[in-house]
Amino acid sequence: MKTHKLFILFSGTGSNMINLIRTLHLHEFVDNTGCACRIEVVGTLCNNPQAKGIQALQEFHIPCVVLSHKGLERHEYDTLLVREIKRYDPTLCVLSGFMRILTPIFTQHIRAINIHPSFLPYHKGAHAIKDSFESNQDFGGVSVHWVSEELDSGTIIMQEKLPKITGESLQDFESRIHTLEYKLFPQALLEALGLRARN
């Protein structure tokens, strides 16, 4: 049976990564020719040695490379990053809360998707949840897109709006964004791979 190999990059809590592992890792799907195939998360990488996600991964026995960016220029880091990823020969690389601006060294050599916690093109960057909460718009959202050279700007794979609730706190809004992420990210990942659930 064909295996689609995923390599996941993260920087912090890793809750989206853990959700992807629980919902997709070693599960079977059907591709667009009707053939059964499976997904395997072959490895992960974190740029932050203190990240909670490193601990959370332990029960799954999936390799985790810790590659700190401290003291490295962006191009130096991305050269090492690309080398590490290629060692695992993934079908697709998944940015799951990987809080780094990537250089062309990465974007030209690695086929990757990214999750972003806003309805793109609104609120690009590292503070998307707070920025959309504080905006005049009556919605936030979640987007999953192909990674391109421009930050948070590649072709959208899937996105969904999240209507704001009057009087809601930032914390509650953030929690609803994460709930939407946990639904949308696995769906978008399957879409990116051309897979669907087995009946």
For the annotated catalytic residues, the residue numbers are 116
Quick check: 132 binds ligand GAR (CB under 6 A)? no
Residue span binding ligand GAR (CB under 6 A) among the ranges 41-49, 54-62, 82-90, 109-117: 109-117
Which of 10, 29, 77, 106 is the binder for ligand GAR (CB under 6 A)?
10
Contacts of 32 (CB under 8 A, 6+ apart): 194, 195
Which of 4, 16, 77, 110 is the binder for ligand GAR (CB under 6 A)?
16
Task: Determine how many CB atoms are found less than 10 A away from the CB of residue 1.
Answer: 7
Which of 8, 21, 64, 117 is the binder for ligand GAR (CB under 6 A)?
117
Which of 81, 93, 115, 158 is the binder for ligand GAR (CB under 6 A)?
115
Residue span binding ligand GAR (CB under 6 A) among the ranges 12-20, 23-31, 162-170, 187-195: 12-20
Nearest 5°: phi and psi at 196?
-140, 165
| Closest residue to bound ligand GAR by CB | 97
d(CA 95, CA 186): 13
Contact footprint for ligand GAR (CB under 6 A): 10, 12-16, 53, 96-97, 115-117, 126, 128, 181
